């Protein structure tokens, strides 16, 4: 039985954590799986299979997976150290601070495969560092790095991160479009770069979707967004669009489930637009699926994406998707008949919203199309097996 190590910073809200747990639930019976979380925390931690061994995060490794607030709550001295390492990383790069942090934890060995599941951040960011850790502190026969974003436009597309990817035996991209974007940057890795779709726990999503969520207005068209609130999601520009469209359609409502670094900007934009009663920020939710089951459509106005896990989750609940053109949206949404994909611009998003508002029967037709389809993880599982064995 192959022995596999997965490395991730934490299991906080977001598609990467959910994707990791779903993959573990799919493969854990066929491999001896260890999981190292720099900070063993997050709402998805409870969903990790019991036979997956959670390794202790030793030394200063937790600093790479904790938020600033968590560090401050744990120790004032650690907070000062974290701030110093963060400032050093922004000024001179994260290489030396991470090397020092890694040196406080033991080297891990004896693995057939080691997987860096969370990709590197950009902007000389101190936190995360899964790629660096797997390359420098893990001994394994094969080392794999996952790519979950549109790497070509992602802030993590830096000279240092490109150098790290060149050292991996395999790179796993979560969609065909994701792989295409990655290889436009690193074409020399074509032979090593594979596609491994996200796994989705369809049964659990449908079960959790049955829980009550009485937040929507029954006489309105209720759009829902579920994601980490980050710059690439482009929610602030969507507020400006909503302001124009809601003037003509008073029955339109937009609900946002999630948290993230761009939340404060979004809160400010909604307040300035005077739309706090019609754009409702629900914050993070351990169970977003009860909201998704009752919404009229999933709305994702991103500037760039790879293959959002939430697309498959929406399909599991029969929820139509309204989204912008990104690396994989046409194939995942448009070609499957599960929703609308618009030009990635303010004009494109506004036109899509007005089209649906003028013909709400479209959403019913999309629901019917989704219900005629079946969804499983067979292809993703086969891709994973080839990644590990070939």
Backbone angles phi, psi at 153, to 5 degrees: -110, 0
Continuous H helices in 118-229: 130-137, 159-165, 176-185, 202-208
Residues 173 and 211 in one domain: no
- The confidence score (pLDDT) of residue 101 equals 95
- The confidence score (pLDDT) of residue 153 equals 83
Residues 116 and 16 in one domain: yes
Contacts of 381 (CB under 8 A, 6+ apart): 26, 27, 199
Residues 130 and 207 in one domain: no
- The confidence score (pLDDT) of residue 8 equals 97
Residues 166 and 72 in one domain: yes
What CATH number did the domain enclosing 208 receive? Answer: 3.40.50.2000
Residues 314 and 167 in one domain: no
The alpha-carbon radius of gyration of the chain (Å, integer) is 21
Give Cα 225 to chain centroid, integer Å.
Answer: 13
Give Cα 230 to chain centroid, integer Å.
Answer: 10
Is residue 4 within 8 Å of 28, Cβ to Cβ?
no
What CATH number did the domain enclosing 116 receive? Answer: 3.40.50
- The confidence score (pLDDT) of residue 123 equals 63
Give Cα 310 to chain centroid, integer Å.
Answer: 9
Residues 169 and 293 in one domain: no
How many domains are there within the chain?
A: 2
Exposed/middle/buried for 169, CB within 10 Å: 0-12, 13-18, 19+?
middle
Residues 92 and 164 in one domain: yes
Is residue 224 within 8 Å of 257, Cβ to Cβ?
yes
- The confidence score (pLDDT) of residue 336 equals 80
pLDDT along the chain (390 residues), means of 10: 96 89 96 97 93 96 90 89 90 89 96 94 80 96 95 85 96 93 96 96 93 88 94 93 96 95 93 95 93 96 87 93 90 84 96 95 93 91 94
Q: Report angle CA 380, 384, 389 to the nearest 5 degrees.
A: 150
Question: pTM, whole model, 2 decimals?
Answer: 0.88
| pLDDT tens column, 56-91 | 999 999 999 988 888 888 888 889 999 999 899 888
In the DSSP assignment, the letter for residue 158 is: -
What is the span of the domain harbouring residue 223?
203-371
Residues 52 and 142 in one domain: yes
Residues 145 and 250 in one domain: no
Residues 227 and 352 in one domain: yes
| pLDDT tens column, 162-214 | 999 999 999 999 999 899 999 999 999 999 999 999 999 999 999 999 998 88
Q: SS3 helix, strand, coil % of the chain, rounded to 5?
A: 45, 20, 35
Beta bridge partners of 143: 114
Residues 192 and 284 in one domain: no
Backbone angles phi, psi at 220, to 5 degrees: -120, 165
Contacts of 264 (CB under 8 A, 6+ apart): none
Is residue 277 within 8 Å of 220, Cβ to Cβ?
no
- The confidence score (pLDDT) of residue 223 equals 97
Residues 144 and 111 in one domain: yes
Provide the sign of the torsion angle of the four alpha carbons 302, 306, 307, 309, taken in this order: negative
Determine the Cα–Cα distance for residues 67 and 72; give it in Å rounded to an integer.
9
The string of DSSP codes covering 366-384 is HHHHHHT----SHHHHHHH
């Amino acid at each position: 039985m192959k022995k596999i190590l997965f490395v991730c910073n934490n299991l906080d809200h977001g598609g990467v954590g959910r994707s990791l747990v779903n993959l573990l639930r799919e493969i854990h019976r066929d491999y001896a799986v260890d999981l190292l979380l720099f900070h063993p925390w997050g709402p998805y931690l409870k969903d990790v299979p019991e036979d997956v061994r959670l390794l202790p995060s030793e030394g200063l490794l937790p600093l790479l997976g904790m938020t600033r607030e968590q560090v401050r709550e744990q120790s004032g001295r650690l907070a000062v150290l974290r701030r110093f390492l963060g400032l050093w990383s922004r000024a001179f790069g994260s290489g030396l601070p991470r090397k020092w942090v890694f040196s406080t934890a033991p080297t891990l060995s004896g693995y057939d495969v080691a997987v860096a599941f969370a990709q590197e951040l950009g902007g000389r960011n101190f936190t995360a560092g899964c790629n660096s850790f797997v390359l420098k502190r893990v001994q394994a026969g094969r080392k794999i790095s996952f790519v979950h974003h549109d790497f070509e436009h992602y802030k993590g597309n830096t000279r240092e991160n490109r150098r790290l990817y060149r050292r991996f035996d395999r790179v796993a991209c979560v969609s065909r479009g994701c792989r295409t974007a990655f290889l436009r940057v690193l074409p020399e890795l074509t032979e090593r770069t594979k596609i491994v779709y996200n796994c989705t726990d369809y049964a659990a999503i449908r079960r959790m979707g049955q829980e009550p969520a009485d937040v929507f207005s029954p006489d309105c068209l209720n759009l829902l967004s579920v994601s980490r609130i980050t710059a690439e999601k482009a929610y602030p520009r969507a507020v400006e669009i909503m302001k124009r469209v809601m003037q003509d359609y008073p029955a339109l409502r937009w609900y946002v489930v999630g948290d993230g670094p761009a939340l404060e900007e979004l809160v400010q934009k909604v307040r300035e637009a005077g739309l706090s009663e019609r754009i409702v920020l629900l914050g993070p939710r351990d169970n977003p699926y009860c909201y998704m089951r009752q919404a009229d459509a999933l709305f994702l106005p991103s500037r760039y994406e790879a293959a959002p896990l939430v697309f498959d989750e929406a399909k599991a609940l029969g929820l139509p998707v309204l989204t912008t053109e990104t690396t994989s949206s046409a194939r995942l949404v448009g070609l499957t008949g599960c929703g609308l994909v618009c030009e990635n611009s303010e004009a494109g998003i506004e036109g899509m919203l007005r089209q649906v508002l003028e013909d709400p029967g479209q959403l019913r037709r999309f629901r019917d199309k989704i219900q005629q389809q079946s969804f499983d993880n067979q292809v993703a599982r086969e891709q994973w097996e080839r990644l590990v064995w070939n």
